[in-house]
């Protein structure tokens, strides 16, 4: 056993940890030393979004102690910034131990003299963001690992605008958390009177806000019997999605019973992620049997949304995140314009790895479209920066996230479900489907095809391998890909763009981020980005072509798909 790892283990065996924890360490030391080493080889990092990791004992795991130490550091920073009068909101999702972690978080905050609004039971992440703003809190936490597998849990930290923290607060909180050297530095109990339980009243306030986002309530009323199938995939969506659809006037909603009960074991799926076809398969079957108009699914903390629709041949297909974003952005732009609600200072926001089709749509409609780094905290930060000068309408990213209106400052699948159903009703009122609308948009703005490949590198060597891959691309960028010249290299870590033909360079005016983008002379874009929450490196591919007529779609899409496949093979990313 490495000496540093053994020292950490010995500290837990001799420290103020529960006897059951020490017994588990002794068992692993005897029976599974490699597993024990992985649990202690490093400290679980409190990153710019908080904590996320596998649950279990050890410094590299999510447990009572790592949660408590993180909360103590965050509490110290909140009091540094705001003095003694600090309020926070705390929520949690359906995962195993999430309630315990949320109560632990609330107790530590309260023991530090901080007023805590703790949700009575599981709630969607976007409601936590909304509650922070509504209750005028200085911060907040939701205990969730979003769409990760069942063995994971996590801790997302928020600031007073309802968004996850950005500079300087993110880095400053990390510094404060790292100062907590021992569990003995944590105030665990003693502030119970500072905890207030919240629930139904906040639900109603949030739902009323979402209902106010509707652009065409009269269409929802006319199409009240739109046949909707919804699955919460064992998550928090069941607490609010049926209610919000009822508020929008939809009364023909069918819940996927096998996935309706919150369950941190996610018994019907491997990955509780609406991006995964397997997670949506039970819902798809139900949608087929009922001949539904639309299928929707949300992840465990209800910040991601997946959508299924019938194609022009009547076959059910799942839209990818880019397609969903295109439909939603276009609807908010187009419907607001038709309704006379659009303003000259309207703006929309997307991330740098989300389809460029949105930029094209915004440009054609004279709407400002801003590109930010991956993560909704950057969308939230831009809203705050532009407040009073430009009117935020919608934001989104390719990973199945949308944020409609500015009352919530994180991705919100609850409002997204309602909006997508309104969009389906709007198109049905015109006698067509959302799929047909998508094809029409391709004809109007160009056919954009995207794909994502994630390569997982687990264990102690994973991070080193991922770093080596990124450095290799930086040091030796390809001159051509798929026979097409690479015209630009955008390095967001160096904040530098470079024309690889002329040598001309320019500054990228975004915060540093470990992302590389290759822009090809034909408009193809390839992005490489290590995940901030998982041991993965992600590669995003985007190609585009002209589509002259709807009937040419299938053939044109095949050409784009073939191009992406050749690029993947050439870059050896299989």
- Residues annotated as catalytic (active site), given as ranges: 146
Bridge-based pairing of strands 401-404 and 253-255 is: unpaired
Residue 239: which residues within 8 A CB-CB, separation 6 or more?
121, 122, 123, 124, 203
DSSP code, position 164? B
Bridge-based pairing of strands 316-318 and 346-351 is: unpaired
Report how far residue 344's alpha carbon sits from residue 319's, in angstroms, rounded to the nearest whole number. 31
Closest by CA position to 334, among listed 427, 220, 221 = 427
Report how far residue 128's alpha carbon sits from residue 133's, in angstroms, rounded to the nearest whole number. 9
Residue 536: which residues within 8 A CB-CB, separation 6 or more?
454, 455, 456, 457, 466, 530
Report how far residue 175's alpha carbon sits from residue 19's, in angstroms, rounded to the nearest whole number. 30
DSSP code, position 45? P
Q: How crowded is the C-beta side of 123, counted as CA atoms within 13 Å?
A: 28
Q: Which residues of 193-214 are buried (b: 16+ CB within 10 A; e: fewer)?
A: ebbeebeeebbeebbebbbebb
Residue 386: which residues within 8 A CB-CB, separation 6 or more?
347, 392
* H or E element that contains 354: none
Using CA atoms, how far residue 43 sits from 37, 48, 458, in Å, is: 12, 15, 16
Residue 417 pairs in a beta bridge with none
Region of residue 365 (phi > 0: left; psi between -120 and 50: alpha; otherwise: beta): alpha
Q: Rounded to an integer, what is the distance from CA 571 to the centroid of its chain?
A: 27
DSSP symbols for 46-83: -BTTEEEEEBSSSTTSBSHHHHHHHHHHHHHHHHHHHT
Question: What tokens does 556 get?
Answer: 């044109």
Report how far residue 110's alpha carbon sits from residue 113's, in angstroms, rounded to the nearest whole number. 5
Identify whether 378 is preceded by a cis peptide bond (ω within 30 of 0): no
For 349, counting Cβ atoms within 10 Å of its Cβ (0-12 exposed, 13-18 middle, 19+ buried), the class is buried
> What are the φ/ψ torsions at residue 537 (nearest 5 degrees)?
-120, 130
């Amino acid at each position: 056993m490495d000496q540093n790892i053994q020292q950490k283990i010995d500290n837990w065996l001799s420290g103020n940890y529960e006897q059951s924890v020490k017994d588990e360490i002794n068992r692993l030391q005897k029976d599974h030393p490699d597993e024990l080493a992985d649990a202690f080889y490093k400290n679980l990092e409190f990153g710019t979004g908080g904590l996320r990791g596998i649950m279990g004992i050890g410094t590299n795991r999510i447990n009572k102690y790592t949660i408590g130490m993180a909360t103590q550091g965050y509490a110290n920073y909140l009091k540094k910034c705001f003095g003694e009068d600090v309020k926070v909101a705390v929520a949690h999702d359906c995962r195993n131990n999430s309630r315990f972690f949320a109560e632990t978080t609330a107790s530590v905050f309260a023991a530090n003299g901080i007023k805590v609004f703790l949700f009575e039971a599981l709630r969607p992440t976007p409601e936590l963001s909304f509650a922070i703003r509504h209750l005028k809190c200085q911060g907040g936490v939701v205990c969730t690992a979003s769409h990760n597998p069942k063995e994971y849990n996590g801790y997302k930290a928020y600031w007073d605008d309802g968004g996850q923290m950005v500079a300087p607060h993110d880095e400053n909180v990390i510094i404060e958390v790292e100062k907590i050297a021992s569990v003995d530095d944590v105030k665990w109990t003693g502030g119970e009177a500072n905890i207030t339980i919240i629930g139904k009243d906040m639900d109603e306030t949030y739902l009323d806000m979402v209902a106010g986002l509707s652009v065409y309530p009269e269409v929802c009323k006319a199409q009240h019997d739109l046949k909707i199938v919804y699955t919460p995939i064992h998550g928090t969506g069941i607490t609010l999605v049926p209610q919000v659809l009822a508020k929008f006037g939809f009364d023909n909603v069918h819940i996927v019973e096998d996935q309706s009960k919150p369950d941190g074991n996610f018994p019907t799926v491997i990955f509780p992620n609406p991006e995964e076809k397997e997670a949506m398969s039970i819902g798809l079957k139900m949608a087929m049997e009922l001949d539904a108009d639309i299928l929707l699914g949300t992840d465990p903390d209800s910040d991601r949304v997946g959508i299924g629709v019938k194609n022009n041949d009547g076959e059910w297909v799942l839209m990818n995140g880019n397609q969903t974003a295109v439909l939603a952005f276009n609807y908010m732009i187009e419907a607001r314009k038709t309704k006379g609600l659009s303003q000259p200072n309207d703006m929309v926001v997307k991330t740098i790895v989300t389809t460029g089709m949105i930029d094209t749509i915004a440009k054609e409609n004279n709407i400002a479209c801003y590109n930010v780094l991956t993560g909704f905290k950057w969308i939230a930060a831009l809203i705050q920066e532009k407040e009073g000068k430009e009117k935020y309408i919608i934001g989104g990213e390719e990973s199945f996230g949308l944020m409609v209106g500015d009352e919530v400052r994180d991705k919100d699948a609850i409002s997204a479900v309602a909006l997508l159903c309104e969009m389906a009703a709007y198109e049905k009122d015109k006698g067509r489907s959302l799929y047909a609308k998508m094809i029409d948009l391709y004809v109007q703005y160009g056919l954009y095809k995207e794909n994502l490949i994630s390569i997982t590198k687990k264990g102690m060597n994973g991070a080193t391998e991922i770093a080596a891959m990124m450095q290799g691309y930086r040091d030796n960028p390809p001159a051509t890909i798929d026979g097409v010249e690479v015209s630009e290299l955008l390095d967001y870590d160096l904040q530098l763009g470079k024309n690889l033909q002329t040598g001309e360079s320019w500054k990228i005016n975004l915060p540093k981020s470990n992302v590389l983008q290759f822009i090809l002379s034909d408009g193809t874009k390839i992005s490489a980005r290590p995940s901030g929450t998982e041991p993965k490196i992600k590669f995003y591919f985007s190609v585009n072509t002209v589509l002259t007529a709807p009937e040419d779609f299938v053939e044109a899409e095949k050409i784009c798909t073939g191009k992406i496949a050749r690029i993947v093979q050439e870059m050896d990313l299989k």
